[in-house]
Structure 1
Amino acid sequence: MAHDTSRKNRRIQRGPGKGGWRFRKILTQRFTIMLIPHSERSVFNFQISLVSLGTLLLAGLFLVASFLYLSSVRIGTGAMVESQAEEISQSQVDLETTIREIQKVLRVAHAFDEEMVDTLNSLGVERHDAAQTSGVTRGDLAEFSDLQVVADDRAREIQDLRNLSERLGDSLEPLREIQRVLRSREELLSDIPNLWPVGGGVGRVLREFGPNIHPITGAWYIHKGTVIAAPPGSPVVASANGRVVEMGYDPEYGLYVYLRHKYGFRTRYSHLQRVAVREGQDLLQGEEIGSVGNSGLSPEPGLDFVVKIGTDVVDPAAFLKIRSRLDRRRM
């Protein structure tokens, strides 16, 4: 029994060694490959081991895989190049569109520059360009079409934009000057009695300054103001900034208010129904003085508006026409 066990153990121990030897034998086994030509030439044959054959097969598979990979990379690169070419083409189209828009902007800027010059001349404002104050001469916007010759058209377009930017920057100060002039004009207009004295612009001219027939006596007389017919109770407003210097009642003019303004102007508002101010009160142009009525010698509701410069009575229409056309039929 012990002998059989010993023999079995020896077979188990020899087993792995014998299997490994067989595997090595298979790997080192050689094969003969014969190449037989159809001609009468001699047969070519060579021997190769299984290991060498496997190595050649692996190398062949590696070459095939590498070829397929490089082919896919090349195809992908070609697609990417084609896509980039399309993007470049689209960018070129966009650039050309941008150039056309820039040319439009330059034309508009040229027209703007001409209008700016006309506006400044009409306002009596002298234009000082940054180029003149710095001693650099660039000319006007018309020279944008004749810019200095440069080798690269793109560089010229960039220079166009730079010059346009500088030119528009030069226009800022004249625009500010225009704003100052307009503000001064508005301030001047607010101090001169030129606002329609009935609120909301309602009313119509019933009798003008100068010769008229008196509505009650029927006699010719020289009217020293403008009578505006308006619904009773309509607000009467200050025609300019001023101060209430006199108010009261007169048998002919009824309830009235006098305002004193800058530059020697005085205005009178007569035939009022009521008064909403007090003597010494400062009013802004457009603020309410009272309401339209027919107090005094007035056959119908209306406002008798009188303008004086110093002691002289002047035609109110000359001032009411400053802001808008004097419509004698407006109501």
Structure 2
Amino acid sequence: MSKTQKVMKKYEKQFASNVTSGFGSFIRTTGNVFVRIFKFFDNKLTIMIVPHSQSKVINFQTNVFALCLGTLLTLGIFASFFYYSRRSLSANMEISALTEQNRETLASLDQLRDENTNLFQAAKRFQTSLSQSLSLLGIDQSDNNSVSTNSNSDLASLFSSTEVAQGTSREVADVKELTNYLEDAVKPIEQIGKMLKTQQNLFTEIPSISPVKNPNYHISMPFGPNIHPLNGNWYIHKGIDFSTWRSGDAVLATASGQVVTVGFDNSFGNQIVIKHSHGMYTRYAHLNSMRVKKGQIVAQGEVIGTIGNTGVSTGPHLHYEVHIGSDVVDPQKYININFAK
């Protein structure tokens, strides 16, 4: 064996000895620490309860480990108690909030049911009015009724079925039935719209709007028997007198037509006469100014002059007449048929 090998062998033995010695020292130190800890926790303690009276003193013998363990358990119990108490309080608050929300939801549901009842009452009135309107216009309802019957959307069957159904499903079924009925009602309403559109020209040819543009007018003298404001005798007033308590308010053509008279009359003052279709004429008298010419074509609602106090008149007003051929008729009957926009 060489000298170098001998030296290496010597260092190996020394290193092994040091490792063994260090590990043994670590084991002994660790053992001593555990022994000291065990001895500390195994120290005996005596707890004495001394009453104020002459009763016997109570002694409890324990050690540090049992005392620490009991303390930890006690603290754990108190901590768990506070934790679950807080959770319980939070849960109670959440339950209260949900209860209040449920109460509000029930109140809203009751209100919804009331509105649902009102909706069906309005639907009944709508059905009656629609049927009457269709009958007056001569629109055949058999096709619509057959469709409604096949789809179970007729309101009569609807209201009879609602008496059998119960609960929330009843309201849902009612709304569905009403939706079906309204969808079926669209067709006859569209027919009414088409009919009105085709008759639009007829409406503009009939004196159906008020001849005074100012909405704050009043009728100072109606059509028919009246007392003459000048001589006090009874006479037949052949038109309607409209008054706005002032001159200058616009006068409108009540129907489309052709101007046949523009001029002054001793009785009517400044007057305009318009010829309409179907043998109808309208007269506008006592005007302050006239804004059309003879032969001019005017449209319904067009301004033709202004209210005045010309001719035999006791104050600013419009004398308005409607003639059918040679007959004078009450204009109020046509003004009530108001198709003006």
- Alpha carbons 2:239, 2:330 under 8 Å: kept: no
Describe the shift of the 1:154–1:203 C-alpha distance in structure 2 as closer, same or farther (beyond 3 A).
closer
Q: For structure 1, list consecutive stretches of 5 or more residues without a partner in the other structure.
A: 1-16, 35-44, 209-222, 326-331
Partner AA of 2:42 in structure 1 = Q
C-alpha distance in structure 2 between counterparts of 1:143 and 1:157, whole Å: 11
Q: For 2:292, which of 277, 281, 287 is the aligned residue?
A: 277
Greater alpha carbon shift after TM alignment, 123-132 vs 101-110: 123-132
String of CA shifts for 1:228-267, please: whole Å, max 9, x gaps. Answer: 7799988765342012356678999998765443345455
In the other structure, the counterpart of 1:51 is 65
Residue 94 (str. 1) matches residue 108 (str. 2): yes
User: Following TM superposition, by how much is the alpha carbon of 1:191 offset from its aligned partner in structure 2, in angstroms?
Assistant: 0.5
TM normalised by structure 1 equals 0.58
- SS of 1:277's partner is coil
User: Following TM superposition, by how much is the alpha carbon of 1:20 offset from its aligned partner in structure 2, in angstroms?
Assistant: 7.2
Within-5 A mapping of 1:168-187: 168-179=182-193, 187=201
Partner AA of 2:98 in structure 1 = Q
Q: For 1:31, which of 28, 31, 44 is the aligned residue?
A: 44
Partner AA of 1:31 in structure 2 = K
Partner AA of 2:300 in structure 1 = Q
In the other structure, the counterpart of 1:307 is 323
Describe the shift of the 1:201–1:174 C-alpha distance in structure 2 as closer, same or farther (beyond 3 A).
farther
C-alpha distance in structure 1 between counterparts of 2:126 and 2:139, whole Å: 16
C-alpha distance in structure 1 between counterparts of 2:194 and 2:155, whole Å: 24
- SS of 2:120's partner is helix
Q: For structure 2, list consecutive stretches of 5 or more residues without a partner in the other structure.
A: 1-28, 48-58, 226-235
- Alpha carbons 2:152, 2:158 under 8 Å: kept: no
Residue 107 (str. 1) matches residue 121 (str. 2): yes
Within-5 A mapping of 1:1-331: 24=37, 27-31=40-44, 49-127=63-141, 129=144, 132=147, 135-141=150-156, 143-147=158-162, 153-179=167-193, 187-193=201-207, 204=221, 226=238, 237-244=252-259, 259-266=274-281, 275-289=290-304, 300=312, 307=323, 313-317=325-329, 320-324=332-336
User: Following TM superposition, by how much is the alpha carbon of 1:132 offset from its aligned partner in structure 2, in angstroms?
Assistant: 0.5
User: Following TM superposition, by how much is the alpha carbon of 1:22 offset from its aligned partner in structure 2, in angstroms?
Assistant: 10
Partner AA of 2:44 in structure 1 = F
User: Following TM superposition, by how much is the alpha carbon of 1:319 offset from its aligned partner in structure 2, in angstroms?
Assistant: 5.4
User: Following TM superposition, by how much is the alpha carbon of 1:155 offset from its aligned partner in structure 2, in angstroms?
Assistant: 1.5
- Alpha carbons 1:31, 1:49 under 8 Å: kept: yes
- SS of 1:125's partner is coil
String of CA shifts for 1:77-109, please: whole Å, max 9, x gaps. Answer: 244334433433443343233323322322232
- Alpha carbons 2:290, 2:304 under 8 Å: kept: yes
- Alpha carbons 1:141, 1:167 under 8 Å: kept: no
C-alpha distance in structure 2 between counterparts of 1:188 and 1:285, whole Å: 11
Describe the shift of the 1:56–1:271 C-alpha distance in structure 2 as closer, same or farther (beyond 3 A).
closer
C-alpha distance in structure 2 between counterparts of 1:83 and 1:324, whole Å: 59
Equivalences, count: 275
Describe the shift of the 1:65–1:75 C-alpha distance in structure 2 as closer, same or farther (beyond 3 A).
same
- Alpha carbons 1:109, 1:141 under 8 Å: kept: no
- SS of 1:243's partner is strand
Describe the shift of the 1:280–1:59 C-alpha distance in structure 2 as closer, same or farther (beyond 3 A).
same
